[in-house]
Structure 1
Amino acid sequence: AWPLAGMASKSFRFAASFVNRNPRNADLMGVTRKPEGWQLEKKNHLKKCIYRVELVQGKSQQMGRIVHYQDGVVLEASTTETPIAAQLYSRVDTSAALNIGRVLAQRCLQSGIFFATPSVSDEERKNSDHLAAFFTALEEGGLRLSEPESIKQGISTDARSTWRPFEVKHTREDKLDELPGHY
């Protein structure tokens, strides 16, 4: 018993402009803590980011997706989606990767995601036409392929944290130079 089931035959009008009241506003402002502690791992930049964008290629399809470091896949666009596949000559060529990038960039901006880290290196992007077209379309669509620096949490930025100096309790060995007769 869906509330809109009886209204399926009526045409709906959608708003021309959409204002997103982004629940991930802390990510955009740079106050979200990024995952840390991956300095010794290979490709550690992929583990230290909030959003990661990747292109997954298969034999008969391509899929672009945005992965959040805690929540997993947040957005995706694929050549298996009927509206996208209907507009493509082939689901696996370079133009398909380009169009997946365009659609994913539009979906990111509509959902309030304005930046993401690429999952491949610059060298891999240069060597692959599919990856180059995909990431070029993302950039041209308005998605920034680098993340802003996050604000480090500390005494000056967190009102709830308090700083108490560590009280040093000296032992006799520490105080030997202060005893009379010792130089």
Structure 2
Amino acid sequence: MFLSGVSRSVRLLLAHIHPAAATNQTARCLSQAASQPEPIADENEAVNPTFVNRNPRNLEQMALAVKDRGWKTVWPHREFYHRLVFSRTQHHVTAEVFSSSSPVPVLSCSTKEWAVKKELASTNCVAACQAVGEVLAHRCHQAGITRMVYKAIPWTYRSDAVQSFRAAIKNGGITLSEPRRKYVGT
């Protein structure tokens, strides 16, 4: 700031002494750089009071997002980020992944889909359950979901079809449990 003021006064002095030299100079030579305001240290340290998380799954992956606990008498429990639901009917096998915030499935796979159905001899056998598990694991990886809760109905847990479905999901790289929620600042 001080030097730019001095150089301006020197130019004005030279213009009075040599008026012909001052008129031959271009406007570029006489122009000054805009003065920059000095940065305030407190301004750089200030934190914006409103923060918008652009990645809502970020807190979920760090186990900091809120899990809806629901009521103790409700089964299955509501404390999850993603829940896997596996169902078998007389004709088809279906697996769906639900988010805690929506009753609509995030991902699903079924033997009703033509791409899965055409590769199978039967749509309700053990091989169909394994195929649905493999396809769902692949879709989960594409969506970025690697952990979810899966609680099988106790009386169907020991069947070969459910066991092959679980094995296919686990071999696909999906973890069938979620981390406990961390409480920060308590």
**1:24 matched residue in structure 2:** 57
Q: So what's the TM-score if we normalise by structure 1?
A: 0.65
Q: So what's the TM-score if we normalise by structure 2?
A: 0.64
Indicate the structure with greater helix content.
2
Query: How far, CA to CA, are the matches of 1:22 and 1:129 in structure 2?
Result: 39
**Structure 1: stretches of 5+ with no match in the other structure:** 1-20, 156-183
Deviation of residue 43 (structure 1)?
3.7
**2:133 matched residue in structure 1:** 101
**2:82 matched residue in structure 1:** 51
Query: How far, CA to CA, are the matches of 1:80 and 1:89 in structure 2?
Result: 13
Q: Tell me how many residue pairs correspond in the alignment.
A: 132
Deviation of residue 121 (structure 1)?
5.3
Aligned ranges 1:145-156 → 2 under 5 Å: 145-154=176-185
Aligned ranges 1:4-19 → 2 under 5 Å: none
Residues 124-172 of structure 1: CA deviation (Å, up to 9, x unaligned):
42x21111111111011000000012221435xxxxxxxxxxxxxxxxx
Query: How far, CA to CA, are the matches of 1:22 and 1:133 in structure 2?
Result: 34
Paired residue type of 2:73: E
**2:112 matched residue in structure 1:** 80
SS of 1:142's equivalent in the other structure is coil
Q: Does 1:128 align with 2:159?
A: yes
**Structure 2: stretches of 5+ with no match in the other structure:** 1-53
**1:92 matched residue in structure 2:** 124
Query: How far, CA to CA, are the matches of 2:128 and 2:155 in structure 1?
Result: 21
**1:110 matched residue in structure 2:** 142
SS of 2:91's equivalent in the other structure is coil
Report the CA distance shift for 1:90/1:22 in structure 2 as closer, same or farther (over 3 A): farther
- Identity over aligned residues, as a percent? 29
Aligned ranges 1:165-180 → 2 under 5 Å: none
Paired residue type of 1:24: R
Query: How far, CA to CA, are the matches of 1:122 and 1:108 in structure 2?
Result: 25
**2:92 matched residue in structure 1:** 61
Query: How far, CA to CA, are the matches of 2:55 and 2:172 in structure 1?
Result: 19
Query: How far, CA to CA, are the matches of 2:137 and 2:147 in structure 1?
Result: 10
Tell me which structure has the larger Cα radius of gyration: 2
